Amino acid sequence: MSDPKTPIYLDYGATTPMDERVWQVMQPFFSQDFGNPSSVHAFGQRAEAGLEAARRDMAAQLNAEPGELIFTSGGTESDNLALRGAAFAARAARGANHILVSNVEHAAVARNAVQLADSHGFELELIPADQQGQVQPEEVAARLREDTAVVSVVMANNEVGTINPITEIAALCRARYIPLHTDAVQAGAYLPINVQSLGVDLLSLGAHKFYGPKGIGALYVSEGIKLLPTQAGGSHEEGLRAGTPNVPYIVGMAQAFSLVQGETEARATTLRSLRDQVINGVLKSVPDAQLTGHPEQRLPNHASFLFQGVDGNALLMLLDGAGFACSSGSACKTGDPEPSEILTAMGFTREWALGSLRVTVGIHTQPDEIEAFLTALPALVEKSRALETA
Ligand SMILES: *Cc1c(COP(=O)(O)O)cnc(C)c1O
């Protein structure tokens, strides 16, 4: 049983607690194996051995070659390197100037694409997702052009949990020799990630979403895909990401990824039952509520809703006061009174879109915690509705 005084964490989509086994493998690289992996001497060699073992492990999990994995500071940097790197390289190589990005991307992709258009003269075209937040392959096919530099479609959406048909979309792009990037940051902990069976060219991951440390991530870059580095300097990471690599965090990320990827199938069943407990409970007990995202093709740990006549941020604060940590979509949006661009892109009116709630469960979530949440929620929704009309 959970302690009633300890807040209950239902926000695994924002970040996850680090696995104790991850900390254990990181520790030596802060102290005795502290060397710079670029140094020639024994200290450097020990650090390099740790770095390259991590790269081999993580590449093997992804079904990639070690040389195809670039370590970055997180999901955001991976998205930046993929999108900007591919756009500028394609412009230099073949004069390509068109970028194709879905309208349900995380800000790390969406804002990048807007900046590439506004400040660098690329032509940005958005691929509209459907009402369930899913990007249909036909919508991508209809927009692919000879001069398309890069396509970016999120693997699983962070706000509504919808999983996209990436394999189909990747096949369309490969047939036209256009690089496809997928942001798999939200998917990494809960879906098997195999770059060969997905057929993608670029794939972003961030460790803190899969029970690893914050501030570290990876970008898979398929052999033969050209990127312009977003950060100039030394020749680290195949010349794509200058700067001394963060060895302890990379070692931790590789360990965390191997732990989650080894257990995705086993965990999915438990998570799905907790998630469905949330979905069924909320829809049964809260009037004027709807599920957002795809009813089946969604992350096994992800439930998201809209409540009519509710200010999502006010509801979050009431929930926090009652001891429940949830989110109203992207964690970056807290305090922003504008409705989520993803929800409005999916066709929801401003009034509905303002009342969003995201409940993401994880490996430590217990059924009794969900019960407590479901017991508390209806009155808190009514209270926030009363605030709106007051
Ligand atoms: C969290 C998240 C990011 C950003 O990753 P950071 O490692 O926090 O920079 C990007 N895309 C998606 C889909 C995410 O969920």
Inform me whether the pLDDT recorded for 336 exceeds 90.
Answer: no
CATH, range 8-18+264-389: 3.90.1150.10
Question: For ligand 1, is residue 385 a contact (CB within 6 Å)?
Answer: no
- Supply the pLDDT for residue 264: 85
Pocket test residue of 104, 112, 186, 214 for ligand 1, highest count of atoms within 8 A of CB: 186
Inform me whether the pLDDT recorded for 316 exceeds 90.
Answer: yes
Inform me whether the pLDDT recorded for 337 exceeds 70.
Answer: no
Question: For ligand 1, is residue 346 a contact (CB within 6 Å)?
Answer: no
Q: What is the mean pLDDT of the chain?
A: 95
Alpha carbon dihedral 331, 158, 271, 1, in 10-degree steps, equals 10
- Supply the pLDDT for residue 387: 86
**Global pTM exceeds 0.75:** yes
- Supply the pLDDT for residue 24: 97
Q: Tell me what the mean pLDDT of segment 310-327 comes to.
A: 96
- Supply the pLDDT for residue 266: 87
Question: For ligand 1, is residue 206 a contact (CB within 6 Å)?
Answer: yes
Domain with CATH 3.90.1150.10 in the chain: 8-18+264-389
Domain with CATH 3.40.640.10 in the chain: 20-262
d(CA 151, CA 336): 29
Task: Give the confidence band of 3 by pLDDT, cuts at 50, 70, 90.
Answer: low
Q: What does the pLDDT look like over 4-37, one tens digit per residue? A: 578 999 999 999 999 999 999 999 999 999 999 9
d(CA 25, CA 211): 14
The residues that are catalytic are 332
Task: Work out which ligand 1 atom sits closest to the CA atom of 76.
Answer: 9
Which residues are CB-neighbours of 217 under 8 A, at least 6 positions away? 71, 72, 73, 74, 75, 76, 77, 78, 185, 204, 205, 206, 207, 253
3-class secondary-structure state, position 291: strand
Tell me which DSSP letter residue 137 carries. Answer: H
Task: Give the confidence band of 240 by pLDDT, cuts at 50, 70, 90.
Answer: very high
Inform me whether the pLDDT recorded for 2 exceeds 60.
Answer: no
Task: Please give the structure tokens belonging to residue 85.
Answer: 């790197």
d(CA 57, CA 167): 24
Q: What does the pLDDT look like over 262-283, one tens digit per residue? A: 988 888 999 999 999 999 999 9
Inform me whether the pLDDT recorded for 203 exceeds 90.
Answer: yes
Q: What does the pLDDT look like over 283-307, one tens digit per residue? A: 999 999 999 999 999 999 999 999 9
3-class secondary-structure state, position 219: strand
Question: For ligand 1, is residue 360 a contact (CB within 6 Å)?
Answer: no
Question: For ligand 1, is residue 209 a contact (CB within 6 Å)?
Answer: yes
Task: Work out which ligand 1 atom sits closest to the CA atom of 14.
Answer: 1
Place of tokens 């870059």: 221
Q: What phi, psi does 330 have (nearest 5°)? A: -75, 135
Architecture of the domain made up of 20-262: 3-Layer(aba) Sandwich (3.40)
Q: What does the pLDDT look like over 38-90, one tens digit per residue? A: 999 999 999 999 999 999 999 999 999 999 999 999 999 999 999 999 999 99
Inform me whether the pLDDT recorded for 370 exceeds 60.
Answer: yes
Q: What does the pLDDT look like over 63-77, one tens digit per residue? A: 999 999 999 999 999
Task: Work out which ligand 1 atom sits closest to the CA atom of 105.
Answer: 13
Task: Give the confidence band of 1 by pLDDT, cuts at 50, 70, 90.
Answer: very low
Distance 69 CA to ligand 1 centre (A): 18
